């Protein structure tokens, strides 16, 4: 067997120190001692293969030394925790370094890896020297294609913030799909490439609203009909454009009856492409007195009279372009969900040139960057006036961050995205109450939200087990429940056998599913005590529909298990069940007869007395310390996992909660206890 003399000395320092000849040593001693003559022989016994190209790309410090990857791995890499190839390296190694959002924005050629950018990076990008995140991107590589002066002029928000243009482009602009220079080509097709069919209508009036709505299968969202009715009440003819994923889908919904004109169009190019497609077919619309460009991204108007006041202001305005709100993101612009274009701009050479230049972009961000953020700037740069009826006081998106103040100032809409709570940290509590107080029926809005949630879920659980699709289905159930005004009866009765405790910490949909299952399966008295832990979402509205539940409200949030002490203090039954809605399995399944115990059997018997197993609900015993004064269960309703439950006797509750806090909510390292926390 061939002995690699240099490797043998390096692999076995005792041989080198003795000055022995590697070949002689291996024949006389090494073979019998289990030593290896070369790195390939050692690798063969390990059952590993070193991918030399991948290894150099993965470990540039090794590549810089010129070391042979196989030799390096056997001598050093394996002991240092390095991996021999991409298959052996766990994906979670990249959790703190790989930025999937940035990588997807940076690389337009992911092909079949579009939904799994990390796999593209591990298999292809790494070998090609692509960066894993913005910090690792090679700035010098952009010097020949990035135009800093044009970028600053195109993006005044960057100049206003005093940012380096290239640095902004790499860290933020790429994600926003901002162009690096005026010659960058964006993926698009002509607006007329999409199929369009006129479903109804004749001649157009002096004031027309081109109203675009997306209906995946042709079923128009429930909230649209009210919007069209209010526009028509203001004397505005409505031309409804229904963007369908299937070009020949049957268009249905109450909104169709409210439209003066209706078009069905293949869903391509987003709002501007749809609006302009109708303008290309009907250029007479450019002679309108006022052309309104509207979409379905808002709930409202809150009341017909609220819209009438807005329309009166638009008609009285001397501006050529009137919008409702503006925004400083990506530079000042008027938001395009409701725009009014007056005749002077529509009939002008500049106006026609703008619309003639519109194409159907494949990416929504391209539409925002090229049309929404540019239209008002384009018009004002050519001598036309623009006006905003509800201007923002700062650079924040006022429809998102100040929606409550807008409503109180007479703004007649709420953005659908705001109600969906798509931006973390933005409070949306009581949006229904605010809208209803101004005359708006929120039922159709909830039906729309339910539909959007189901579309997001695809109607089925996620195949990868992430639960994201299941979360969407749970959300859809909540909106359907709220849409019809249902109330859940949780009245405890005179002597509840069990007190159910829960802390609502931003999961009202999960809580509702759990409460509905408990109410449906209950066959003996029980009570429910809930802690609203400073929620800023739909929690308030859901809790308002749980009749008979005891509610504790925290103004400032506590760690959930610490907040559970507040619920325990209000409980009346001798047995308490602390449920954590939606919680993953927090312990391993166990034999229900192990440990415990007499109390453990008593607790399970009582649970099954109140909620008989086999009647939809089931309890999977989970492991707990042998003498623990609680029993843990995974709670299921039919096939749905509702969460984890901890059953205990009330006398043991203080001790149990202390133990669970230590187990599930230990303080972070260096964190001092807060004396104000219960």
Read off the pLDDT of each residue in 210-231 and give the average, rounded to a whole number. 97
| φ, ψ at 334 (rounded to 5°) | -95, 130
| Confidence check: pLDDT of 640 > 90 | no
Read off the pLDDT of each residue in 175-182 and give the average, rounded to a whole number. 95
pLDDT at 583: 58
Up-side HSE of residue 273: CA atoms within 13 Å toward CB? Answer: 27
Mean of the per-residue pLDDT values of the chain: 89
Give the CATH fold of the 488-664 domain. Spore Coat Polysaccharide Biosynthesis Protein SpsA; Chain A (3.90.550)
Q: List, for residues 578-590, the tens digit of each pLDDT value.
A: 998 875 555 555 5
CB atoms within 10 A of CB 146: 19
Both tokens of 234, joined, read 């203001």
CB atoms within 10 A of CB 416: 21
| Confidence check: pLDDT of 231 > 50 | yes
CB atoms within 10 A of CB 306: 20
Predicted TM-score (pTM) above 0.75: yes
pLDDT confidence bin for 394, thresholds 50/70/90: confident
Q: List, for residues 44-54, the tens digit of each pLDDT value.
A: 777 788 899 99
| Confidence check: pLDDT of 209 > 90 | yes
**Are both 193-414 and 488-664 of the same fold?**
yes
Q: List, for residues 417-457, the tens digit of each pLDDT value.
A: 999 988 888 889 999 999 999 999 999 999 999 999 999 87
| DSSP structural state of residue 439 | T
pLDDT at 584: 56
CB atoms within 10 A of CB 252: 13
| φ, ψ at 294 (rounded to 5°) | -135, 150
CA distances from 265 to 59, 243, 515, 571 (A): 51, 5, 43, 58
Residue with more model confidence, 148 or 32: 148
| Confidence check: pLDDT of 174 > 60 | yes
| Confidence check: pLDDT of 271 > 80 | yes
pLDDT at 150: 96
Both tokens of 334, joined, read 């008027």
pLDDT at 677: 38
| Confidence check: pLDDT of 616 > 50 | yes
pLDDT at 593: 42
| Confidence check: pLDDT of 299 > 60 | yes
| Confidence check: pLDDT of 85 > 80 | yes
Domain segments of the chain as ranges: 93-137, 142-176, 193-414, 488-664
Residue with more model confidence, 325 or 10: 325
Both tokens of 316, joined, read 């009285």
Contact call for residues 626 and 531 (beta carbons, < 8 A): no
Read off the pLDDT of each residue in 312-330 and give the average, rounded to a whole number. 96
Torsion sign across C-alpha atoms 179, 183, 185, 189: positive
Q: List, for residues 108-161, the tens digit of each pLDDT value.
A: 899 999 999 999 999 999 999 999 999 999 999 998 999 999 999 999 999 988
Burial 255-286 (b: 16+ CB within 10 A, else e): bbebbbbbbbbbbbbbbbbbbbbbbbebeebb
The terminus-to-terminus CA distance of the chain in angstroms comes to 72
Read off the pLDDT of each residue in 58-82 and give the average, rounded to a whole number. 89
Q: List, for residues 453-500, the tens digit of each pLDDT value.
A: 999 877 444 444 444 578 889 999 999 999 999 899 999 878 899 999
Both tokens of 222, joined, read 């429930």
CB atoms within 10 A of CB 196: 18
Sheet (strand 550-554) strand order: 550-554, 526-533, 498-504, 575-581, 640-649, 631-637, 617-622
CA distances from 609 to 233, 309, 522, 638, 647 (A): 58, 60, 9, 18, 14
Per the rule left: phi > 0, alpha: psi between -120 and 50, beta: everything else, 509 is alpha
Per the rule left: phi > 0, alpha: psi between -120 and 50, beta: everything else, 383 is left
- Residue 89 CB contacts under 8 Å (≥ 6 apart), including other chains: 58, 83, 122
Read off the pLDDT of each residue in 65-88 and give the average, rounded to a whole number. 88
Domain 193-414 architecture: Alpha-Beta Complex (3.90)
Helix (H) or strand (E) holding 634: strand 631-637
CA distances from 268 to 340, 359, 456 (A): 23, 10, 19
pLDDT at 615: 61
Strands (E), 309-462: 321-323, 326-327, 333-334, 338-342, 360-361, 386-388, 414-415
Both tokens of 296, joined, read 């379905």
Both tokens of 137, joined, read 């991107």
3-state helix, strand, coil in the chain (%, to 5): 45, 15, 40
Contact call for residues 370 and 398 (beta carbons, < 8 A): no
**Of 7-16, 390-399, 543-552, 598-607, which range is least confident?**
598-607
| Confidence check: pLDDT of 279 > 80 | yes
pLDDT at 103: 96
Q: List, for residues 323-361, the tens digit of each pLDDT value.
A: 999 998 888 999 999 999 999 999 999 999 999 999 999
CB atoms within 10 A of CB 616: 14
Please report where in the chains the tokens 């090229």 appear, as a residue: 370
Select the highest-mean-pLDDT range: 16-25, 384-393, 468-477, 630-639: 384-393
pLDDT at 599: 60
| Confidence check: pLDDT of 10 > 80 | no
């Amino acid at each position: 067997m061939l002995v690699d003399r240099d490797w043998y000395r390096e692999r076995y320092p005792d041989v080198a120190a003795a000055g022995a000849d590697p070949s002689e040593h291996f024949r006389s001693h090494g073979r019998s001692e289990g030593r290896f003559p070369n790195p390939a022989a050692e690798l063969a016994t390990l059952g590993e293969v070193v991918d030399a190209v991948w290894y150099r790309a993965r470990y540039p410090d090794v590549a810089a030394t010129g070391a042979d990857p196989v030799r390096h791995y056997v001598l050093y890499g394996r002991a240092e925790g390095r991996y021999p190839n991409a298959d052996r390296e766990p994906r979670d190694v990249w959790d703190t370094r790989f930025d999937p959002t940035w990588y997807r924005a940076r690389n337009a050629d992911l092909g079949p890896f579009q939904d799994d950018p990390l796999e593209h990076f591990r298999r292809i990008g790494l070998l090609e020297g692509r960066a894993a995140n913005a910090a690792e991107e090679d700035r010098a590589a952009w010097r020949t294609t990035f135009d800093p002066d044009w970028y600053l002029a195109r993006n005044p928000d960057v100049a206003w913030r005093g940012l380096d243009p290239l640095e902004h482009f790499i860290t933020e602009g790429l994600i926003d799909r901002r162009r690096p220079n005026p010659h960058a080509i964006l993926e698009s097709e002509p607006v007329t490439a999409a199929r369009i069919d006129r479903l109804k209508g004749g001649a157009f009036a002096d004031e027309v609203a081109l109203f675009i709505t997306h209906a995946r299968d042709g079923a128009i969202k429930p909230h649209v009909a009210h919007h069209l009715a209010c526009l028509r009440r203001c004397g505005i003819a409505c031309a409804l454009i229904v963007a369908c994923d299937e070009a020949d889908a049957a268009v249905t919904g109450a909104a169709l009856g409210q439209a003066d004109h209706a078009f069905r169009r293949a869903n391509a190019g987003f709002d501007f492409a749809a609006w302009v497609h109708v303008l290309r077919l009907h250029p007479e619309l450019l002679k309108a007195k006022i052309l309104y460009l509207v979409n379905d991204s808002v709930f409202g108007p809150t009341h017909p009279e609220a819209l009438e006041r807005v329309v009166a202001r638009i008609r009285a305005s001397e501006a050529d372009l009137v919008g409702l709100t503006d925004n400083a993101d990506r530079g000042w612009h008027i938001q395009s969900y409701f725009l009014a274009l007056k005749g002077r701009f529509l009939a002008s050479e500049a106006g026609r040139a703008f619309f003639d230049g519109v194409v159907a972009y494949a990416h929504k961000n391209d539409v925002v960057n090229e049309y929404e953020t540019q239209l008002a700037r384009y018009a004002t740069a050519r001598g036309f006036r623009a006006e905003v009826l509800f201007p923002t006081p700062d650079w924040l998106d006022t429809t998102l961050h100040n929606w409550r103040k807008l409503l109180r100032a007479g703004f007649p809409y709420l953005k659908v995205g705001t109600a969906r709570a798509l931006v973390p940290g933005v409070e949306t509590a009581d949006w229904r109450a605010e809208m209803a107080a101004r005359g708006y029926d929120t039922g159709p809005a909830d039906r729309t939200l339910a539909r959007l949630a189901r579309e997001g879920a695809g109607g089925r659980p996620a195949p990868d087990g992430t639960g994201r699709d299941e979360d969407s289905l749970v959300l859809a159930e909540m909106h359907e429940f709220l849409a019809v005004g249902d109330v859940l009866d949780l009245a405890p009765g005179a002597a509840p056998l069990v007190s159910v405790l829960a802390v609502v910490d931003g999961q009202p949909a999960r809580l509702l599913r759990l409460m509905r299952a408990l109410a449906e399966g209950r066959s003996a008295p029980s009570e429910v005590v809930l802690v609203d832990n400073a929620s800023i979402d739909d929690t308030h509205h859901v809790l308002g529909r749980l009749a008979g539940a005891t509610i504790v409200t925290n103004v400032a949030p506590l760690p959930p298990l610490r907040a559970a002490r507040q619920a325990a203090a209000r409980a009346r039954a001798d047995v308490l069940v602390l449920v954590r809605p939606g919680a993953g399995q927090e312990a391993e399944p166990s034999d229900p007869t192990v440990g415990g115990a007499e109390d453990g059997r008593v607790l399970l018997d009582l649970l099954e007395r109140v909620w008989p197993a086999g009647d939809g609900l089931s309890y999977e015993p989970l492991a707990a310390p042998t003498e623990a004064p609680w029993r843990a269960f995974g709670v299921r309703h039919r096939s749905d996992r509702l969460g984890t439950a901890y059953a205990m006797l009330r006398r043991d509750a203080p001790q149990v909660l202390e133990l669970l806090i230590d187990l599930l909510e230990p303080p972070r390292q260096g964190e001092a206890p807060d004396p104000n926390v219960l």
